[in-house]
Structure 1
Amino acid sequence: MVAVPANLGSNFAHLISHFLRLVLPFLSGRKIWFRW
């Protein structure tokens, strides 16, 4: 196994988490902001 896919996976999930933090509050109110 190569270590690169694992790093890409973690970075991808990290970007998704930040993306959700920015997008979800606008989609379903700012209540989710405090849940993160």
Structure 2
Amino acid sequence: SKQRSTWLHAVSVGEVNIALKLASALRALEPDLQCV
């Protein structure tokens, strides 16, 4: 099967912090999801 992935892009420190929280929430919903 094909692994699903999501690309997250952040520039500022604030965006990086939100992206990390988003990645954690997405992985909680779908553990096999790869966040890049």
Which of the five TM-score ranges fits, normalised by the shorter chain? 0.5 to 0.7
Higher-Rg structure is 1
Q: Aligned-residue CA RMSD in angstroms?
A: 1.7
Judging by fraction of residues, say which structure has more helix. Answer: 1
Over 2 Å off, 4+ runs: none
For CA contacts below 8 A with separation 6 or more, give which structure has more relative contact order: 2
> Number of residues paired by the alignment?
22
TM-score by length of 1: 0.54
The share of aligned pairs that are identical, in percent, is 18
Judging by fraction of residues, say which structure has more strand. Answer: 2
Structure 2, unaligned stretches of length 5 or more? 1-10
